[in-house]
Chain A
């Protein structure tokens, strides 16, 4: 597979897939790129904003309300954990506790802290508690990424 990139100023990010014949691998690539473009609509100060999945650091359920956390902003999401879970297949999102979904693309490190709790450190140095039960799911994502 040949990968080419070129800078085209003033245009939105465009991916063109050229293929000799439509096949399963082309379809898988097409779906994968499509999922990278997945976004959720968040609300902040009465304005609606489309937040790309790559900008989301984690999603938290606080008293039955969902919040999307980016590097510096927090947005309210009018949906359920199930809505997010239905869309997160083959993305970097993974559930890390009953109330939290983390973007593994923004994960810097996982560590076992003093009292044996597991802690995920994100790129912005924010720390999240990881349930041991979900560690295997995080591992699965990294295994899949390695393929």
Chain B
């Protein structure tokens, strides 16, 4: 069978992504323009406090930002700069924003990756178990715990973990040690509490999604067929039910990434002082370092855009029922 519809679909999906990207850039541009203060204002106040000539500095900064140009020119420059990977200059750290991000993204990445693995593996296993044992005591306990898990504010959980495990018990450090090499056991130990903080909510969510998706599929006719074949229960559940439950699960997990996980990682980094992008953005807020806050929001958004697109395209390979025309 020809796969030409697939190529057409991928091209369509790319065009759609470009439209969404333009929308994102436009909205952020408008936000900045209608905002009450110009990006330079707060920084100017700082400089003025140091006794510099305000008018001169204002002109210099406005020129740098292109604020003296007509608005459409500013819009085109804004998009053009971003396309060239020029995210602007960070006042507070005196380096290009892109360099700042290059040195710090790995900390966010390791936190999110480890938390996702922890949450997905455990969440899916517990979810399957809960579904198979539906209406038993164990199922009720897991369902109840998953309610608690999704309801615990992650940043508060982080503070509580520090209170119990570092302040009271002294097992873990309360602060992330940036001197540790990335691929070391010490680093892994330093990440235990942060991963629990970010991972608990994700874990509880995955338990609930997996359970309901598995329950949906365990009631289907092909499960009875599989049992009637004489297959052991392990195969019936692992192969026949789970493979069907997995696809909707992946969609939700991917959706969660943007709506919950990125925000959670931001807060977790602040609680534990992990120098990831969330922490960088947090510091930039206090330094009124405009381009940094903006860039980090944009990076998160474009990550979501990319992940959504990748998931959609991967789906056409993973789910034999899908055919886009």
A-B interaction: no
Q: Spell out A's residues near B (CB within 8 Å).
A: none
Q: Spell out B's residues near A (CB within 8 Å).
A: none
